[in-house]
Amino acid sequence: MPTRRCFTMSALTFAAAGLAGCGTRSSVGLPAVSPARASPTRTLARPNYAEVYTDYPGERFAVRTVDYRKVDPAYLRQTVELTREEAPGSIIADPASYHLYFVETPRVATRYGVGVGREGFAWSGLARVNMKRDWPDWVPPREMIEREPAIKAQLEKTPRGLGVRGGPNSPLGARTLYLFGEGRDLGYRIHGTLEPYSVGTNVSSGCIRMINQDIVHLYARVAPGTPVTVLAA
């Protein structure tokens, strides 16, 4: 069962360990989910990556071009066939394969590459998207500041407390989906990242990070209440 908040490695220059926390509450009691895979049998379509991963227009802050040639093709956005039926409109995250799926139809999904929790901090369970925010402020958990007090000097006041205001320096990236379950905030997020080339690796302590262009794409298609399944690694 997950009992730790999720912390993500970021490009933020913190004096201590360079850690960024995306949780706001500890999480207990999430039901374990069996490691049945949503693995695709085949790729059905790939977008034009030169267009997909370029600068995003109309944003409050710049979403910079990502050199997709530096990313393993397995972790670039694509439409895939699923081996089992899943509810359309739902999200499935598979940490073992570093993929997240948005189900389009019962056997077809858009697949994205993700970065996931480091060994020892992986989590699984059932949740729903309770809130969604664009360019959210990041406020580290109190426990993190207690462990790494040197970072406090690099934080500023935000409406939610000391942290980093939403924008190009926020460890939460361009968008964040907040996962709730059992009537409370589970402390876990699906969010963008300052480190797009870290997808396909274990880089956080529980949260799911995506290339900013991909989280923007997912965010536009997800409504509060969307069910999320995170498979056991």
* Residues with catalytic roles: 191, 207
User: What is the residue whose two structure tokens read 């500023």?
Assistant: 156
Both tokens of residue 225?
A: 């209440």
C-alpha–C-alpha distance, residues 109 and 103, integer Å: 4
Of 203, 211, 174, the C-alpha closest to 20 is 203
Instruction: Please name the residue that has the structure tokens 């949780």.
Output: 23
Written as one string, the DSSP assignment of 95-125 is: GGGTEEEEEEETTEEEEEE-BEEPTT----E
Tokens describing residue 107: 């056997």
Distance CA 116, CA 200 (A): 8
Q: Say if CB 177 and CB 38 are below 8 A apart.
A: no
Identity (one letter) of the amino acid at 156? E
CA dist 216 and 112 (Å) reads: 12
For residues 50 and 63, give the distance between their C-alpha atoms in angstroms, rounded to a whole number. 14
Helices (H) and strands (E) in the chain, counts: 3, 16
Cβ neighbours, 10 Å, residue 143: 14
